[in-house]
Amino acid sequence: MTDTNAVRSGTGTPETGCPATLNFMTEHVTLKDVAAHAGVSRTTASYVVTGEGRVSQKTRERVAASMKELGYVYNRGAASLRTQRSSTIGVVVTNIASPFFGELLVGLEDELRAAGFLSLIVATGDDPARQEQIITELREHQIAGLAVVPASGSPKELLDTIAASRVPHVFMTRYLEGEPVPYVGPDDVEGGRLAAQHLLEHGCQTLAYLGGRDVVLSRRDRLDGVRSAVHSARLDKDAVIDVPGDATGESGLDAGERLLAAGPLPDGVICHSDSVAFGFYRALRNHGVPTDSVRLIGYDDIRGAALFEPTLTSIATHPEELGRAAGRKLLTALGVTEPAGTELIETFAPELVVRGSCGCGG
Amino acid sequence: MTDTNAVRSGTGTPETGCPATLNFMTEHVTLKDVAAHAGVSRTTASYVVTGEGRVSQKTRERVAASMKELGYVYNRGAASLRTQRSSTIGVVVTNIASPFFGELLVGLEDELRAAGFLSLIVATGDDPARQEQIITELREHQIAGLAVVPASGSPKELLDTIAASRVPHVFMTRYLEGEPVPYVGPDDVEGGRLAAQHLLEHGCQTLAYLGGRDVVLSRRDRLDGVRSAVHSARLDKDAVIDVPGDATGESGLDAGERLLAAGPLPDGVICHSDSVAFGFYRALRNHGVPTDSVRLIGYDDIRGAALFEPTLTSIATHPEELGRAAGRKLLTALGVTEPAGTELIETFAPELVVRGSCGCGG
DNA sequence: CGGAATTGCTGAATCGATCCACCAATCATA
DNA sequence: TATGATTGGTGGATCGATTCAGCAATTCCG
């Protein structure tokens, strides 16, 4: 009977295409009810609820009492419709479960909350198609702003789409080439350089970079940093072994296995994340190779890095701070905060945290 | 000039009490514009967008083309206001950054998404006051349902408040005593029993339970399980040493230090989370105590458990599956899915994953 | 004391989408 | 060719909160 192809984008399951399943809400206590109960007009009740307008203290209290008594709940949707303003922020990340993004979200959310915004957090699973779907959906929810960690392999048009939507936005941790956009992320070139330099200073002749997806820009940047350090140390270019994968522990295990199978180990290893390092060490142990036979540096300095055996030397990127900075940048883009810095693109210098795994007496 | 005390709950920063800072949205293309452009009425345009009503294929396509051309974005807020339905779900957790909740959120979000719902994820930081604030705020956003991991120390009234709000809901992983409520969580008594039994079978005489906050019900349940196993093994009650803390690695380190200072180690250790176990092993290593001098079992079986040295024997609670189950339960509470099971309270049997740390030949 | 300013409050239009009640045209059928 | 059914489409009221314009009543002040 009903025609099948609804056009509204965000509804229905992506898989089945069946119509969105919505749920009935319960009957509401509205401002009108409150006003009637308190014996004032809707206007006055509204003034009380927003704190605007001229209302006597007496009336204010009476209305507040009515609200409490009736169990009134403010309807932001309706208010938003009328005022054309919104206080929700769309937050798009690739993966909520990763420790790095987890900590980043904590910082971001906290900063936004403090300014009165609520974060709509959604994960893309690093899939550009799903990411696009999600961003449209968020726009349908009348978000005031957007904070995005772009899925790797995001098309350039993503930038145009977002720019065209005129929603204030900030990109995080993964930089997309194209028009310059507000961006907050770690300085990955510097991070790679820092790690490589440290290993080279301690006599490493060959460096392997393990894990991380090939398409991810942060990985390429770090490798650039590594190569520049190798160059400065007057070592040959192919002193750098490149083993892509992804950012998980399993990937590190896998990379380790492949490295072991390929012949003698490099004497220096840089891992795309601390989790990758954990996996790499597991591979060594599975093969009875002592863990101190390589100097290793992890990345991100997640909570567990200091507890592992060996304790992990790592490049700290301070994800929570990064999230805070992104939050602040978005707030200025929204116009609620005075611009702190004038820079559109803000990169944070990473920090080498020396512990045991690099073998220089931690 | 303006009166200071606005009554609307969710606005403004909790700290400063200053009025909410909202942002202006850009001008909209509305259905009216689309209708005018396509030469039809608003009603027809609406029918096209929802897929309802009787509209000829020709008109349908013309309207869809206009929508694309004008860059129309569906306004869920307005639709929600009119229909009194919503497709957002409020999700309240204590901590996004923990691996356990991270994985749980992945499952929950995925299940809800597949049914056409968008998850509003917010973290309470395990603070009941903030939790209450957050739940009100979510209600102001006209959520269709609520999934909550209650902050530890949540007052009983939380249940009443939520029940009174008549929003379909589900509680997760932490059970609150009081009126029975829809709940999905691991069977913690069984988990504790399982761990203790395994250790006792391998000859342990004293068991320590490390980490986890004292007030958390799951911790008490697990200890009950441990004690029941101890009882079955005809061991003395004070064969169980109780070292509360929290669920982090630092807490495990701390608990380890305290245990080492207190005298000879127990021969069996159960940790409130795998992270706690990581910290405990760090304490051992810092003091030069061999890691195989205790049999240890962790909890949750997070991703890193199989990579650590020693590989962690752990009680797997399958957080992602738990999230999925919670999602499904909420969907039936919302009436979009046929009830699968009739049970209000659904506990999932945990699973002992034997690896190296319990010392029985992993 | 009289005009001006201020205080306290209200009526009514409005935001964007929905959907009931209706209408006009077309088609089927006896 | 009536009668009824079906198809394709429209008008207008409505959801809940906001806010401008306006109106009494009170206060201010030369």
Q: What pLDDT digit, counting tens, does each position of A311-354 carry?
A: 999 999 999 999 999 999 999 999 988 887 778 999 999 999 99
Instruction: Give B274's contacts in chain A (Cβ within 8 Å).
Output: none
pLDDT at B357 over 90: yes
E-only strand ranges, chain B: 23-24, 85-86, 88-93, 118-123, 145-148, 169-172, 183-186, 207-210, 240-243, 268-271, 295-300, 314-316, 345-348, 351-353
Q: Which of the 8 DSSP states describes residue B351?
A: E
CB atoms within 10 A of CB A65: 14
CA–CA separation, A89 and A161 (whole Å)? 17
Collapsing DSSP states into helix, strand and coil, what is residue B300? strand
Task: Give the residue from chain A lying closest to B96, CA to CA.
Answer: A102
Q: What is the dihedral of CA A351, B124, B219, B350, to 10 degrees?
A: -80
Kindly determine whether the C-beta of residue B40 is less than 7 Å away from any atom of nucleic acid strand D. yes
Tokens of B214: 């004292």
CA A88, CA A168: separation in Å to the nearest integer? Answer: 12
> Model-level pTM?
0.88
CA B33 – CA A278 distance, rounded (Å) = 57
Residue B148's pLDDT is: 97
Residue A32's nearest nucleotide, by CA–C1', is D16
Whether pLDDT at B176 is above 90: no
Cβ of residue A56 lies below 7 Å from strand C: yes
Distance of CA B236 to the CA centre of its chain: 36
Residue closest to D8 C1′ by Cα = B55
Tens digit of each residue's pLDDT (9 = 90 or more) over A126-154: 899 999 999 999 999 999 999 999 998 89
**Confidence (pLDDT) at B8:** 60
Q: What is the DSSP letter of A179?
A: S
- Answer whether B84 sits within 8 Å of A25, measured CB to CB: yes
**Is pLDDT above 90 for B7?**
no
Alpha-carbon span B359 to B167, nearest angstrom: 49
Residue A32 CA distance to nucleotide C20 C1' (Å): 24
Picking from A136, A141, A253 by the largest number of B CB atoms within 10 A of its own CB, the best residue to mutate is A141
Q: At residue B17, does pLDDT exceed 50?
A: no
- State how far the alpha carbon of B224 is from the alpha carbons of B209, B228, B274, B283, B294, in Å: 11, 6, 20, 27, 22
For residues B247 and B249, what is the distance between their CA atoms, to the nearest angstrom?
7
Q: Is the minimum distance from the CB of B205 to strand C below 7 Å?
A: no
Instruction: Please tell me whether any atom of strand C lies within 7 Å of the Cβ of B215.
Output: no
Give the one of B3, B80, B95 whose C-beta lies nearest to A51's C-beta. Answer: B3
Per-residue model confidence as pLDDT tens digits over A235-294: 888 899 999 999 999 999 999 999 999 999 999 999 999 999 999 999 999 999 999 999
CA atoms lying within 13 Å on the CB side of residue B276 = 27
